[in-house]
Each structure stands twice: as structure tokens, then as C-alpha cells.
Amino acid sequence: MRMGRTNQTQDRLDALLDGRPGEVTDDLAPLLAAAEALRAELADFELDPEVVDRHLEQALDRPATVVELPVRKAGGGVLRRRLAAAGLAAALLLVPATAASAASAEALPGQALYPVKLAVEQFRLAAVQWSPTREAQERAKIAAKRLEELNRLGELRMFRQIPSAIRALDKAFQAAEAAVVEAAAEEGADPELAAVVNELARVAVAQHEELVALKEMANVPSAVTQAVDRSPAALQPNLPTVPSVLQPVVTTVTTSPTEPPVTTVPPTPGPRPEPTTAPPNTTAPPTTIPPTTTAPTTTAPTTTTTTPPSTEGPAGTAGAQGSPAGAGGAEASTTSSTLPQ
Amino acid sequence: MVLGFGEQQPPTRGGLTQADLVAARQREPAAVSRVYSAYAPALFRFFMAELGNRQDAQDLTGSVFVSVIEALPGFRGPVEALGGWLFRIARNDLYDLRRKQARSPTVDPLDDHLDEAANAAGADDPEELAIERLEGSRVMAALRQLSPDQREVLLLRMAAGLTAPEVAAALRKTPGAVKSLQHRGLASLARILGLRSPNDPGARPYPSFDPARLSRTEEEQER
């Protein structure tokens, strides 16, 4: 009798703790308050983002020992992954322990550590979901990484990886752009967001330069030139959309005032500032700019991602989410679409 | 899709699927990272509450995760059973670490920690800050007064975010025993924290068979 009632109370408490419906009686109220206090206390304990790379690499580093026979699983997948794990182990041996977490950061597409790099990026993105600005920053960083990879692949003439690297950069760029628009709609004129826009502009200009350089390289496979032609940045820099709320904060979206390609951007109706001031990151001398002024202004409307100001601004997140993707490209639509493979 | 830190867990943790499990067994990096996202924050909270030391808790989170990924091919259950299984490993490794620490009581470079912590927080008095950290809040102090059984159940429930059946699987107890421990543990916690229902006279003891409670009831009666 008594035992039965106790059990019932315990079940009710358990249900309430799980968020299932139940009656909060006088005897349970203090217990639930204690549970809530404990939960709130524990929620403050958060992992340092820096350890995440290390943990993931440690886990991926160990060669598989208990895995089923490779023949049972599809193709040479297991073997390939084992080789990748072995490659990872070897790579970790070559770097000092403190630099172990940076081992994957240098990885290029097609290399053993590259999937780790992508996984770490996805984890970082998940960790900053609570802040639209942080997410935009993180996505801009990813776009910059894709650009670095493309540059490296070009230097190394790793042509097989280049077409997908071009597409990956375009996708990462669009995702970053969309994240900026979304963050601007939620957080308004944030100087940090303006910095993200400037960073994206830098990426856009450098991407265009890289694509031009790729096309001019000797003995480039046609797959590469086709991929270049399909990129929205092929003819001129695919400058990022500046959400209207950010326009007063963004001082310039160009990297250098002397740069010819910028002049081919069609004037937007909004108060877009003219590139009069030199931003701090004018590292590349103006003389290295490839001859891109040949791009006629008539092609500009089809290749830029500038959205009309009417669809921007504080029009709610749904509208803000849709507009840049629609203008930028059809496949990469929302901010969560950059998951690799 | 992937859980952020400090969020309450939905029924299927981090949206993990059976396919993720299969892929994680094969060390598919994306799947391994999804398992990590789903469980590492919970592991860390659990270890942090048990050990009270950030560095140790983070290191243990990493090494337990490695053990988990290594042992994953041996886990035959459905994805829903992963939490209980995973925290059984976590608990074993935690006890191993404690045994090791007890066997070789190293000189803890507390001074280093103090200075580091003080610099990080910009505090004037490293000692005060450290004491605050070590003692934790009132809630954590109260938690330390519970019986080890009750504390463990509450931490697996609240820090790790496991359900009662998952806790039962992790501890090899029955779900009924877990619910009973959780009820008694929360009752003690509420009493230590001075939480009472407005309509409750306060002196009435909660139904409990916990012998540790008796001494505290006497304390209360003195008040």
C-alpha cells in the first residue's frame, strides 16, 4: 500500500524531470526546484572549443582493431579509411605534440586529414549556433579556408581536386553571405558583422584572381576551365551582399581603392559607400591584379549576388534567409547547407 | 541537427541515427564528430561535477571518447541504448582515474593553477578565487553531502542528461532503484538547500530509507 504510493510518486517525479506531463504536487515542488538548481549549475560547465580538435583527432587516430572484415562492407571503404587512419597517425607523429591539433588545419582535399578538418569545422559551427554573428564569423573563416585550399591546389597543380574545390568555395561563400544577412536581421548594425563583410569581400576578390590565374595556367585540364567558367566569380569578384542595416557600418567592400574590377560592379540603389578609404589589409600590391577590366558592365547583373535592398533589412528572418541564396545560387540555399558530402 | 553545448537533450541524442552508429564504427570522421557533439558536452559536465577540476575533466572526456570509439564495434544495441552503454565506460574510466590518483598522490601544482586562474579572471586574490572554484556553489556543496549512490544517479540524470532507464543501464540497477535513489537524492538536496513547498510545514520528512538523512533531520530539528 504505502510502497505503491511511494512508487507512484517516484514515477511522477521521474516524468516531470524528463519534461513529461504530470501533476506538480506540494511534496514534489521542492524536489523539482532542487533539480532545476542543479541542472542550471551544471549547464555552466562547457568544454573549451580548443580541446575539441584534439579529442576528435585522438579518436580518429587509433587504427581500427575490432572492426568487421573489410569485405563485408562496401567496396574498399574500410581499407581506405584504415589507410587514412594510418596516415593520420603518421602525420601526428611528425608534428610536435602541441601542434597536433593543428595537423588537420593544413590538410587539402584528397588528403588523409581533410575529413577531420571538415568535421572540426562542423563541430565549431554547431558550437556557435547560439550567436548569429559568431556563426557568420565562423562561416567566413570556412570560406577563407576553402580559398586557401584552392590557392594551394593551384600552386601544387593538383587539378583533379580543383573543380570540387571551386564549387566548395562558392558554396562556403554563399553560406557565409546568407549567415551575414541573417545575423544582420537579428542583431542590426554590428561592427563585428561589418568586419565579416569586409573579410568576405577580400575572399571574393582573391577568389576571382585565383580563378583567372587558374585559367591562364599552362596545360590546364578542361574540367578545371569549365569549373572556373561555372563559378559566379569567374568574370569579376562576386562581392558580398551588404545588408542595408550594415551599410552605414561597412566602410568599404573592396580591398584596394586602386583596383579596377571594383568599378565594374553596378551601382546599387542603396547608399553603398564608394571605395575611397584604404582598408588595413592591402597586402597585395595593386600591380599583381590580373587584367580583369575586360569584363563588360553589361554582364554584371547576372554575376553579382547583390540583392535589391527591398528584400533586405529587418524584414524578419524568413525573408532574410531566402533572399541571398536565391540571388546567389540555386543549390546552396540555407545556412545549414554546407555540410560536406 | 547537432546539439550545442548546455542544451537539454531530446529523446534521440543529437539526432544520432543508427546509420551514424554504423559509420562511427568505421571511423567515418563526420559520424565520429556527431557522436562527439552528442555526448562530449554531457561527459564533460559529468566529470566536471565529479572531479571539480577543468583540466582533469577535459582530459578524461577526451580519453573516454577515444575508448568509446574504440569499443563501438562491440556495441550491438540500438542507438537509443548508446547513452547507458557510453556512461558505463565513462564511470569505469572515472573510477580507474580515481584509483590511480589515490595510489600515486602527486604533488598538485596548486600554485600554478592559482596564478593561472587568477590571471584569467583578473582577480586580485588567487586564493579566494580558487576556493570559490573548488567549493563551487552552494548547490555543488550540497551535492557532496549526498550518499555516493544518490549523487551518481543525480549527476547521470542532470549532468549527463540520461533518462532513468539509461542510468539504470549504466549502473546495472533496475529503473525502479534509480527512480528511488533520484527521489531520495533530490529530497535531501532540497532539504539541504532549504527549499520547501509554500504549503509545507517544513518539518515533515520526505519518505526516505536513506540512513544518511536521519542525522540531517536531527540537525533540522535543532533549528
Interface test mutation site (partner A, options B1, B5, B162, max chain A beta carbons within 10 A): B5
Q: Which of A18, A26, A46 sits opposite B199 (nearest CB)?
A: A26
Query: What pLDDT does residue A103 have?
Result: 53
Query: What pLDDT does residue B223 have?
Result: 45
**In chain A, whose CA is at the least distance from the CA of B70?**
A64
* Structural domain includes residue A17: no
Q: Chain B contact for A80, CB < 8 A? A: no
Which of the pair, A72 or A32, is modelled with greater confidence?
Answer: A32
Which one of A3-12, A186-195, B194-203 scores highest in mean pLDDT?
A186-195
pLDDT tens-digit profile of A304-322?
344 444 433 343 333 334 3
- Residues A193 and A64 placed together within one structural domain of the fold: no
Q: In the predicted model, is pLDDT for residue B152 greater than 60? A: yes
Of A127, A159, A174, which closes a domain?
A127
Test B182 with A52 for CB contact under 8 angstroms. no
Determine which of A30-34, A49-53, A55-59, A125-129 has the lowest per-residue pLDDT on average.
A125-129
Test A46 with B57 for CB contact under 8 angstroms. no
- Residues A183 and A318 placed together within one structural domain of the fold: yes
Test B74 with A66 for CB contact under 8 angstroms. yes
- For residue A337, what is the DSSP state? T
- Residues A174 and A281 placed together within one structural domain of the fold: yes
Test A64 with B26 for CB contact under 8 angstroms. yes
* Structural domain includes residue A227: yes
Which pTM was predicted? 0.47
Which one of A160-169, A293-302, B114-123, B196-205 scores highest in mean pLDDT?
A160-169
Query: What pLDDT does residue A116 have?
Result: 65
How many angstroms separate the CA atoms of B223 and B214, rounded?
15
User: By C-alpha distance, which of B167, B216, B164, B161 is closest to B188?
Assistant: B216
* Structural domain includes residue A39: no
- Residues A236 and A275 placed together within one structural domain of the fold: yes
Cell of A202: 577580400
Query: What pLDDT does residue B128 have?
Result: 52
CA B154 to chain centroid, in Å, comes to 8
**Mean of the pLDDT values across residues A58-87?**
45
**In chain B, whose CA is at the least distance from the CA of A41?**
B139
* Structural domain includes residue A25: no
* Structural domain harbouring A182: 132-294+303-332
- Residues A117 and A169 placed together within one structural domain of the fold: no
Please tell me the distance in Å from B188's CA to the nearest CA on chain A. 8
Query: What pLDDT does residue B89 have?
Result: 94
Q: In the predicted model, is pLDDT for residue B103 greater than 90? A: no
Share of chain A above pLDDT 90, in %: 20
User: By C-alpha distance, which of A30, A3, A35 is closest to A17?
Assistant: A35
- Residues A164 and A200 placed together within one structural domain of the fold: yes
Q: Chain B contact for A336, CB < 8 A? A: yes
Of A97, A112, A127, which closes a domain?
A127
Q: In the predicted model, is pLDDT for residue A187 greater than 70? A: yes
Cα dihedral: B108, B110, B111, B117 (round 10): 140
Q: In the predicted model, is pLDDT for residue A23 greater than 60? A: yes
Query: What pLDDT does residue B106 have?
Result: 57
Q: Chain A contact for B95, CB < 8 A? A: no
User: By C-alpha distance, which of B61, B80, B104 is closest to B21?
Assistant: B80
Which of the pair, A73 or B168, is modelled with greater confidence?
Answer: B168
- Confidence band for A115, pLDDT divided at 50, 70 and 90: low
Is the sign of the CA dihedral A97, A105, A341, A153 positive or negative? Answer: negative
Amino acid at A129: Q
Protein fold of B146-223: Arc Repressor Mutant, subunit A (1.10.10)
Query: What pLDDT does residue B12 have?
Result: 64
**Mean of the pLDDT values across residues A148-159?**
90
- Residues A201 and A76 placed together within one structural domain of the fold: no
- Residues A111 and A151 placed together within one structural domain of the fold: no
Which of the pair, A118 or B89, is modelled with greater confidence?
Answer: B89
Q: How many domains is chain A built from?
A: 2
Range B1-104: architecture per CATH: Orthogonal Bundle (1.10)
**Mean of the pLDDT values across residues A24-52?**
82
Query: What pLDDT does residue A248 have?
Result: 76
> So what's the ipTM on this one?
0.71
**In chain B, whose CA is at the least distance from the CA of A64?**
B70
- Residues A279 and A184 placed together within one structural domain of the fold: yes
**Mean of the pLDDT values across residues A34-58?**
82
- Residues A121 and A251 placed together within one structural domain of the fold: no
Please state the domain extents for chain B: 1-104, 146-223
Test B200 with A81 for CB contact under 8 angstroms. no
* Structural domain includes residue A143: yes
pLDDT tens-digit profile of B155-213?
999 988 899 999 999 999 999 999 999 999 999 998 988 877 665 554 444 444 444 54
Cell of B102: 589515490
Query: What pLDDT does residue B161 have?
Result: 86
pLDDT tens-digit profile of B37-67?
889 999 999 999 998 889 999 999 999 999 9
Query: What pLDDT does residue B176 have?
Result: 95
How many angstroms separate the CA atoms of B19 and A334, rounded?
24
- Residues A210 and A144 placed together within one structural domain of the fold: yes
**Mean of the pLDDT values across residues B63-72?**
92
As a whole number of Å, the CA-based R_g of chain B is 20
Name chain B contacts of A22, Cβ cutoff 8 Å.
none
Q: Chain A contact for B195, CB < 8 A? A: yes
Query: What pLDDT does residue A177 have?
Result: 93
Which one of A38-47, B125-134, B167-176, B208-217 scores highest in mean pLDDT?
B167-176
- Residues A212 and A65 placed together within one structural domain of the fold: no
